[in-house]
């Protein structure tokens, strides 16, 4: 069961530190800009290494941005326990070419056992690159 509690004062900073300290974040270079009240925003600066053979950012990179935004949106709504991704779907709408990506995640439903989020990945000038949805489940672990 998802435990509904009020987030401690420094919870957003704790979550930002979690992403900063994750090896994947060091590798990709993405940052958590906003993470509170069931909403998260993740930014990924463009790197040529993210391109696939057609010159667009690989769909797996776009999906990582979307899932990261959804995960932290769910986490911000679940301060009493850690969460994990249990389901994820993405529609790639447009190719991203040599542009930074921004993933925005928003909690749609914070249920007893699962948190459901919707995510949009934007490119330059807020052009929609992808639309995704994700389901996140609580773990028997706290964030601290």
Question: Considering the entire predicted model, what is its pTM?
Answer: 0.92
pLDDT in tens, 35-54: 999 999 999 999 999 999 99
Q: DSSP of the chain, one letter per residue?
A: -----PPPTTHHHHHHHHHHTSHHHHHH--EEEEEETTEEEEEE---GGGB-TTSSB-HHHHHHHHHHHHHHHHHHT-TTS-EEEEEEEEEE-S---S--EEEEEEEEEE-SSEEEEEEEEE-GGG-EEEEEEEEEEE-S----
pLDDT in tens, 78-95: 888 899 999 999 999 999
Q: Which domains are seen in the chain, by residue range?
A: 11-138 (3.10.129.10)
């Amino acid at each position: 069961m998802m435990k509904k509690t009020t987030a401690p004062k420094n919870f957003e900073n704790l979550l930002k530190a979690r992403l900063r300290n994750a090896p994947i974040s060091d590798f990709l270079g993405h940052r958590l800009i906003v993470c509170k009240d069931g909403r998260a925003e993740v930014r990924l600066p463009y790197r040529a290494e993210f391109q696939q053979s057609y010159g667009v950012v690989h769909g797996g990179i776009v999906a990582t941005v979307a899932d990261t935004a959804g995960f932290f949106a769910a986490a911000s709504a679940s301060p009493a326990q850690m969460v994990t991704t249990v389901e994820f779907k993405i529609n790639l709408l447009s190719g991203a070419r040599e542009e930074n990506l921004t993933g925005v995640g928003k909690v749609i439903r914070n249920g007893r056992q699962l948190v459901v989020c919707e995510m949009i990945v934007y490119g330059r000038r807020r052009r929609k690159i992808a639309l995704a949805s994700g389901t996140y489940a609580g773990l028997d672990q706290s964030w601290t």
